[in-house]
Amino acid sequence: MPIIVNLDVMLAKRKMQSKELAEKLGITPVNLSILKTGKAKGVRFDTLEAICKILECQPGDILEYKEE
């Protein structure tokens, strides 16, 4: 898949666990895991905005495009 999700990298930089981010986002840890592993078919802009607000980052810090 050409879209790479670097959410684990940002979580590590912010010293935050996935469970804590899921709680702050109001989603289940399972749904966050699906997003983190790149298995999600899409992400809502309001979810992306909330992630960026919580982690104090830009969308480009989380999502990356690489040609196959």
Spacing of C-alpha 58 from chain mean position? 11
Domain spans of the chain, in order of start? 1-55
**What six digits make up the tokens of 17?**
């666990």
Domain 1-55: assigned CATH number: 1.10.260.40
**Residues 43, 49, 54, 58: is their CA dihedral positive or negative?**
positive
The token pair at 28 is 């289940």
pLDDT, residue 68, reads: 81
Q: What is the pLDDT of residues 1-49, one digit of tens each?
A: 689 999 999 999 999 999 999 999 999 999 999 999 989 999 999 999 9
Q: What is the pLDDT of residue 1?
A: 64
Question: Once rounded to an integer, what is the mean pLDDT over residues 44-65?
Answer: 96
